[in-house]
Structure 1
Amino acid sequence: MKSFRSYLAQAIRAAAFVTLACTFPAAAETVEVAPGVQVTKRSFTAPMNEQPFFGFAAKTAEQKAEDEKFVTAIIGASGSREKAFGEITKRAWIAIQAGKVREAAVRFNQAFLVSPEQSSIYHGFAVIAQARFSDFDAADELFKIALKQPNPVKALKADYGRLLLIAKRPRDAQEVLDQAVKETPDFSDAWTNLAWARFQNGDPAAACAAAEEAAKRRPSNNSISDLTAVRNVAQCK
């Protein structure tokens, strides 16, 4: 299976030339998943532990007890709640990069049990909602929540901007990505995504400038082809 970034890179290139149709569901019930955090209730065709927030399924007393047992054990083994959360999400992001979206979903659900307020939970579930279930509405909602939650990873705005590009919202994407490169100027992928946004917004010269910045910052293996593609279509020198 292709990695998430490779998959999104191909989608962005296609979005530069064709219109993508996105269907968004009507307003639905929301559920509080962490103190002060409301998420639209959704379920997908997948095992419960492979869906964001366990598919919002009602758990039995036995399942709740197993969850508590897991949390106690992982915190005990790691030494603290913070270390337990960090270890689980590290494995989840590695799975994402390897294209193992199902495994990543299981990991993010485990992390959700440990620290449901953390930004990485919503970021990770946004990736899964889009990459596995093609639900742009869910991904957009979760990215917006991730931006407000504590301890976001540096790729958050770059990934959100990329989603907006795929959803055929380049102006919204450029706004997010302008912020991304200001906050994480050393992150090559953010510059590459900004190059695509500028190109799709009709400014190939500015796209080339962003691509040049991306090239200076050691682009990841997954984004090299994406960077090459935007430089080609923008006719950069």
Structure 2
Amino acid sequence: MKQLLIIALISLSITSCNYAQQPANVNSELPGKAISYEDWKKEAQTNIRLNPKFGDAVKTDSQKEADQQLIDDYLKQQGNHHKGAEILIKLGFEYLYKGDVRTAMYRFNQAWLLEPKNENVFWGFSAVYFTLGDHEKAMEQLNEGLSLNPNSSNLLTDKATIYYARFPNSNNPKDLSAAIDLLIQSYKIDPKNQNTLFKLSAVYFMKQDCKNALKYYNECKKLGGRPITKEFTEAIQKQCP
């Protein structure tokens, strides 16, 4: 039971807090925004905006004109492609945290139009698929992002989260080992990534390693402790006094 609780807690925070502040409970089925993954896949057959990189579809002249207009508008507002893409990625995560997965994917695709080589676009694509429950597609998007920037702490940490999420079904210790390896790699790149610190604390707690669980918990708390849940605090205080 403790393992399942900890895995559930860390799996809830697939994305870190770098783009937007995540509420305590992310509800992916807000009124008017809910969509099952089956319905998503059906809609994506005709709505290319629901597919990463627009599904590599051949666009019409009017679609190309609309794309260029969007690029021109953001270049005028932000001054360059990177700043425009980052604004759209931030918006995408904000919509995702509100439970509006459609609009989130729209914004991530717009960011891709502005800057196709921005690894954080694929972080966004992955977060959408993780929210929809398709961990394999989420992993594919993270791997594509990591091919652009192998040293992205955010992508490495979310890749570790997918390995955690597999564990209840696989019961394969290799999944946990892979997750720890990725988190340690992420930590070396960015020791102040709170999402990484929280998840390192959680996995060591699950392995009954109180020394390391408390080490990373305290490091996360010193930086603000945003991803730490009340339930995890209560559990670690009880088991690791």
TM superposition score normalised by structure 1:
0.71
Going from structure 1 to structure 2, the CA distance change for 1:15 and 1:155 (only over 3 Å counts) comes to closer
- The one-letter code of the counterpart of 1:73 is D
Unaligned runs of 5+ in 2: 12-39, 168-174
**Native 8 Å contact 1:10 1:226 kept in 2:** no
Partner of 1:142: 141
User: How far has the Cα of 1:118 moved from its partner?
Assistant: 0.8
Aligned residue number for residue 12 of structure 1: 7
**Percent of pairs identical after alignment?**
23
The SS at the match of 2:112 is helix
Tell me whether 1:163 sits opposite 2:162 in the alignment: yes
Matches within 5 A, 1:88-103: 88-103=88-103
The residue type equivalent to 2:222 in the other structure is: K
> Equivalent residue for 1:228?
233
Q: CA offset at residue 69 of structure 1?
A: 2.6
Corresponding position of 2:187: 181
Shift of residue 179, structure 1, vs aligned partner: 1.6
Structure 2: how far apart are the matches of 1:226 and 1:81? 41
Judged with a 3 Å threshold, the aligned counterparts in structure 2 of structure 1 residues 151 and 163 are, in CA distance, closer, same or farther, namely closer
CA contact (8 A) 2:88 2:110 kept: yes
1:11 and 1:136 map into 2 onto residues whose CA distance is 18
The Cα of 1:57 is off from its aligned counterpart by: 3.6
Counterpart for residue 29 of structure 2:
none
Would the aligned equivalents of 1:170 and 1:201 in 2 still touch at CA under 8 Å? Answer: no
Any stretches of 5+ residues in structure 1 without a counterpart?
1-8, 17-42
Paired residues for 1:70-85 under 5 Å? 70-85=70-85
**Pairs aligned (count):** 200
How many angstroms apart in 2 are the aligned matches of 1:68 and 1:162? Answer: 36
The residue number in structure 1 matching 2:32 is none
Deviations along 1:165-205, one digit per CA (max 9) or x if unpaired, are: 11222211101111222222222221111122224445344
Distance 2:96 2:143 in 1: 20
Letter in 1 for 2:76: G
| TM-score between both structures, scaled by the size of structure 2 | 0.70
Bigger mean CA offset, 182-191 vs 109-118: 182-191
Q: CA RMSD in A?
A: 3.0
SS class of match (1:167): helix
Verify the 8 A CA contact 1:162 1:173 in the aligned structure 2: yes
- Supply the AA of the counterpart residue of 1:170: L
The alpha-carbon deviation at position 105 of structure 1 amounts to 0.9
Q: Is the 8 A contact 2:6 2:202 kept in 1?
A: no
The corresponding residue for 1:44 is 41
Write the distance in 2 (CA, Å) between the matches of 1:154 and 1:14: 20
User: Bigger CA drift: 56-65 or 160-169?
Assistant: 56-65
Residue 207 in structure 1 maps to residue 204 in structure 2: no
> Deviation digits for residues 48-103 of structure 1, max 9, x if unmatched?
32332224444223322322232223223322222221221222232234343322
* Alpha-carbon distance in 1 for matches of 2:202, 2:211: 11
Task: Find the aligned partners of 1:186 and 1:127 in 2 and give their Cα distance.
Answer: 21
CA contact (8 A) 2:6 2:206 kept: no
Matching residue's letter, 1:52: P
